[in-house]
Amino acid sequence: MAATKRVSFLGAGSWGTALAIMLGKMGHQVILWSKVESEIAMLREHREHKERLPGVKLPDTVEVTENLSYACKDVDLVVFAVASPFVRGTAKEARPFIREGQKIVNVAKGIEEATLSTLRDILVEEIPQADISVLSGPSHAEEVALAMPTTVVVGSVDKETAVFIQEIFMNERFRVYVSPDIIGIELGGSVKNVIALAAGICDGLGYGDNTKAALITRGIAEISRLGSAMGANMETISGLSGIGDLIVTCTSKHSRNHNAGYLIGKGYTVEEALKEVKQVVEGVYSAKAVKKLADKYYVSMPIVEQICKILFEDQSPDEAIRILLNRDRRKEYPDLGWG
């Protein structure tokens, strides 16, 4: 294991808290920051996130704080773990406290609708003095907090930085790969949330395994088309942050995107489903942005298109399925011929 480091987590939701617990148990000195007063009070009093990770205690190596300046200064690594809608705002607040060359890794997933920026793009814009990487993969917080075997990938412009982050996070239960393909990692992690909403809707409608398998497979095709147009490596799309994350998010009881979709399939309105899930459903925030990217790069993404219509245009889930199944006949892969 790497030498002990001082690591700060900005964001004390389920994912930030789970990773903070893991690094704390590895012996790192961890700072866990939140601007939510009730969350700070709960973590200090109970030494656990009773709402998101009940029963999993913070080790003594994890310090809880609401002081952003303190959380950002004199640390080896800053981990951005706030939900995607709050990344830009948190970055603006943190910027004055971030030193030149500070290593930052973002572990949230999403695309900003107004700008079509990935979360790393936002951090580069708002904290230009920092060295910013991403960490993604099939990794539910509930399982990482319980030390269930998990594998992720770190993407960075600089190999040395990627290896630095790999060494901090990697342990016998949490395997970390490295990659230079940042855009591929971020697209896989963002678009899969939209496809997971569709998978949940299918389950809510009462459809079976055939339907979900088809949806996941065609979802991979949509992610691949957009990734190719935006310069992602297809090996990344077929890897942990692409297919791996898509599978786990479309099938797991822990997936807030699948769970929200399930409720919509059962007849809940979007607002009712989000209220019931009680967490940020990233796919809802990313759906319009992904559709805009598809339009910008002239990429066909019919599943994403139908999800946007369900979420924002009152399209019924049944009608969306009918439209998808009755599209024009075509080859599965247009570039394949019969010789």
In a domain, 330, yes or no: no
Specify whether the CB–CB gap between 81 and 116 falls below 8 A: no
CA-nearest of 135, 106, 110, 82 to 282 is 110
Is 104 a domain residue?
A: yes
Do 309 and 162 reside in the same domain of the chain?
no
- At 172 the pLDDT is 97
What are 9's strand-pairing partners? 32, 79
Q: Contact at 8 Å (CB) between 138 and 150? A: yes
Is 33 contained in some domain? yes
Could you tell me the CATH number of the domain that includes residue 24?
Answer: 3.40.50.720
Closest CA to 75 of 47, 88, 94, 59: 94
Q: Are strands 6-10 and 103-106 parallel, antiparallel or unpaired?
A: unpaired
Kindly name the residue from 5, 103, 192, 291 that is annotated as catalytic. 192
**158-168 burial: b if 16+ Cβ within 10 Å, else e:** eeebbbbbbeb
Query: CA nearest 138: which of 118, 152, 154, 119?
Result: 152
* Predicted pLDDT at 335: 87
Q: Does a structural domain hold residue 232?
A: yes
Question: How many other β-carbons are positioned within 10 Å of the β-carbon of residue 251?
Answer: 16
From first to last of the 339 residues of the chain, give the pLDDT tens digit.
568 999 999 999 999 999 999 999 999 999 999 999 999 999 999 999 999 999 999 999 999 999 999 999 999 999 999 999 999 999 999 999 999 999 999 999 999 999 999 999 999 999 999 999 999 999 999 999 999 999 999 999 999 999 999 999 999 999 999 999 999 999 999 999 999 999 999 999 999 999 999 999 999 999 999 999 999 999 999 999 999 999 999 999 999 999 999 999 999 999 999 999 988 999 999 999 999 999 999 999 999 999 999 999 999 999 999 999 999 998 998 889 897
Tell me, yes or no, whether 65 and 143 share the same domain: yes
Q: State which H helix or E strand residue 178 sits in.
A: strand 174-179
Of 151, 180, 209, the one marking the end of a domain is 180
Are both 84 and 227 inside the same structural domain?
A: no
**Are 36 and 78 within one domain?**
yes
Helix (H, G, I), strand (E, B) or coil at 102: coil
Q: Are residues 163 and 215 in the same domain?
A: no
Domain range holding 217? 183-325
* 57 classed as catalytic: no
Both 24 and 156 in one domain: the answer is: yes
Tokens of 255: 């997936």
Whether 160 is in a domain gets the answer yes
The reply to whether 151 and 215 lie within a common domain is: no
Which amino acid makes up residue 304?
Answer: V
Q: Provide the number of structural domains found in the chain.
A: 2
Q: 10 Å Cβ neighbour count for 3? A: 9
- Write the CB contacts of 171 (distance below 8 Å, at least 6 apart in sequence): 1, 22, 26
CB 194 within 8 A of CB 283: yes
CATH code where residue 263 lies? 1.10.1040.10
pLDDT at 334: 87
175 and 189 part of one domain = no
Give Cα 41 distance to the centre of its chain. 26
CA distances from 96 to 43, 92, 105 (A): 26, 8, 18
With respect to residue 1, please indicate whether it lies within any of the assigned structural domains. Answer: no
210 with 278, same domain: the answer is yes
- Return the pLDDT at 1: 55
Residue at which a domain ends, from 180, 202, 232 = 180
Among 165, 180, 195, the domain-final residue is 180
173 plus 192 within the same structural domain: no
Q: How many residues does the chain have?
A: 339
Residues 106 and 132 in one domain: yes
Quick check: is 204 in a domain? Answer: yes
The SS3 assignment for 169 reads: helix
Same domain membership, residue 125 and residue 147: yes
